[in-house]
């Protein structure tokens, strides 16, 4: 952030938060964010982590919103990231 010599520094509400890198996985539907997952510090996003932690949250959130519809009619748009193309994820 740029601060000139005359102005006061802005207040940082959560000190140290901006110093650590965070990876967010966010799923949206028509009404807004459905699931937000923050990857723990010093953890790598793998297919196993994605299926066990992120995708299970997405499935349960969809089932809560639409209990009569199954998730088999749901389409998810992924980018070309490695964990999304892994065999464990595509199954």
pLDDT digits (tens, 9 = 90+) for 50-65: 889 988 898 888 888 8
Give yes or no for a contact between 29 and 65, defined as CB atoms under 8 angstroms apart: yes
Rounded to two decimals, the pTM is 0.58
- Please report the pLDDT score of residue 51 as a whole number: 86
Block residue for tokens 């998810």 = 76
Q: What burial letters (b/e) apply to 22-36, b meaning 16+ CB within 10 Å?
A: eeebebeeeeeebbe
Give the list of residues 6+ apart from residue 51 with CB closer than 8 angstroms, or none.
Answer: 88, 89
Helix (H) / strand (E) containing 6:
none
pLDDT digits (tens, 9 = 90+) for 71-82: 667 777 766 665
Among residues 68, 48, 76, 71, which one has the least CA distance to residue 60?
Answer: 71
């Amino acid at each position: 952030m740029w601060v000139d010599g005359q102005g006061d520094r802005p207040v940082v509400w959560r000190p140290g938060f901006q110093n650590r890198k965070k990876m967010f996985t966010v799923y949206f539907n028509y009404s807004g964010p459905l699931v937000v997952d923050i990857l723990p510090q010093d953890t790598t996003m793998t297919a196993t982590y994605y299926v066990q932690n992120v995708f299970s949250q997405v499935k349960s959130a969809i089932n809560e919103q639409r209990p009569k519809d199954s998730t088999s009619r749901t389409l998810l748009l992924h980018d070309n990231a490695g964990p999304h193309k892994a065999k464990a994820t595509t199954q």
